[in-house]
Amino acid sequence: MQTASLAFRNLFRNTRRTVLTVMLIGFSLTALIVFDGIMRGMITLMVENITGTLTGEAQIHRVDYRENLDVDLYLDNAAQIESQLQQDASLQAFAPRVISGAMISSSYNVSAGLVYGVDAQLEKSISKISEAVVEGAYLSGEESELLIGISMAELLEVGLGDRIVLTLSEVDNGELAQALFRVSGIVEFGLRELDENFAFTNIAAARRTLGMTDQQTHEYALRFVTPLSLTDSSSDLLNELNNGEIEALNWLELNPEISLILEISRYSSLMIGAVLFLLASLGVINSMFMSIYERIYEFGVIKAIGTRPGDISKLILFEALFIALISCGMGILLGAAIGAYTSTSGIAFGEMEFSGISLNNAIFSEFHIIQFTQFPIYVVLLTVIAAIYPARFAAKIIPSDALHKSL
């Protein structure tokens, strides 16, 4: 206790140096807490955009359908699949889709794209198509309705009410089929791929044009009561549906390129923290050595009168411990204050897009107990570890040399 009390008093022998060291470590902890909160918020926003824009949290297809979008690879037992989906308590909503590549023609231009036939009501629970309408109206159920992306509308030089001809390949026989549609709405997702290449119509019209029956569907998009997260993307329902002919994939499996981005995002806090605390550790070592050199005569005297080297090491380590504890208190308070603001007001970074993922919305920081418990523990440990070398140096001081150097 005497060693700890003396170490605490020693902090105030050079207040300026102590304050600077505390600020260096405290601000590093604050930066780590805030950065980690922002990264967690960005990951949440990315997941919401991936699953909420069009993909859904999971999808059901025929095996190999996604590789080439072959219209002949359709599910032909829609009633059976929908019955199974309706009975599963883990599922919040599902929506059938018919999908085909098409030539989309206006009186002025032609564009290649993907046409989605969707159930207008069920789709609202899965995707943001209805929310993306910027002109006109969402699908009402009329067969001739067509929603097109804003960039496609500019390319085709069409507006609301203009006529569009879709040229598609019928299922099973491969014959070309054409159908006349009317532009009932223009959508803007903020994603170049969707706005340039996608069009949406009612599923009944898509099936009729492709020569499909009511029991034939290319895809089911799913949303669960408990959302599939980055850390828990498995589902008993998906496992049951995978049977060799049907594949049920979660959003991570549907977007394998996103997994790497999310992994990098998750570990970026660790890398940033390592850099920050390397710098802070160098600051601690420098501060401890300056303190030792200023008190070298004192150490020489107390060692000459019989103080053990281990007690001198303890003194230096206790000083580092108190600096770390004060720094953690400061860092936690600042981190909590900044976190409270960024988690409620959000941070607007402007328009950003990563691998086709739009991050145009404000990022709201997310904070968890780990940031205010484990992070400070790491800070204390690293600070004390950084002080071991200066402590051993002080313990090895030779009294005669110390007295000579002080003259």
Q: What pLDDT is recorded for position 319?
A: 87
Burial class (CB in 10 A: 0-12, 13-18, 19+), 161: exposed
State the Cα–Cα distance between residues 100 and 118, nearest whole angstrom: 12
Q: What pLDDT is recorded for position 242?
A: 79
Q: Picking from 106-115, 175-184, 242-251, 349-358, which range would have the lowest pLDDT averaged per residue? A: 349-358
Burial class (CB in 10 A: 0-12, 13-18, 19+), 265: middle
Kindly report, residue by residue over 209-220, the tens digit of the pLDDT.
999 999 999 999
* Model pTM above 0.85: no
Kindly report, residue by residue over 66-79, the tens digit of the pLDDT.
888 888 999 988 88
Kindly report, residue by residue over 196-207, the tens digit of the pLDDT.
999 999 999 999
405 pLDDT tier (thresholds 50, 70, 90): low
Q: Is the pLDDT of residue 25 over 80?
A: yes
Q: Picking from 181-190, 213-222, 337-346, which range would have the lowest pLDDT averaged per residue? A: 337-346
Q: Is the pLDDT of residue 148 over 90?
A: yes
Q: In this prediction, what percent of the chain has a pLDDT beyond 90?
A: 32
Strand-strand pairing, 176-187 and 145-149: parallel
Kindly report, residue by residue over 44-53, the tens digit of the pLDDT.
787 777 788 8
160 pLDDT tier (thresholds 50, 70, 90): very high
How large is the greatest C-alpha to C-alpha distance in the chain, in angstroms? 102
Q: Is the pLDDT of residue 348 over 60?
A: yes
Specify the DSSP class assigned to residue 74.
Answer: -
State the Cα–Cα distance between residues 375 and 331, nearest whole angstrom: 10
Residue of 371 and 138 predicted with greater confidence: 138
Residue of 277 and 227 predicted with greater confidence: 277
State the Cα–Cα distance between residues 254 and 373, nearest whole angstrom: 35
Cα 94-96-98 angle, rounded to 5 deg: 155
Q: Is the pLDDT of residue 181 over 60?
A: yes
How much is the average pLDDT of 129-156? 92
Residue 343, strand partner residues: none
The type of residue at 154 is: E
Q: What pLDDT is recorded for position 205?
A: 92
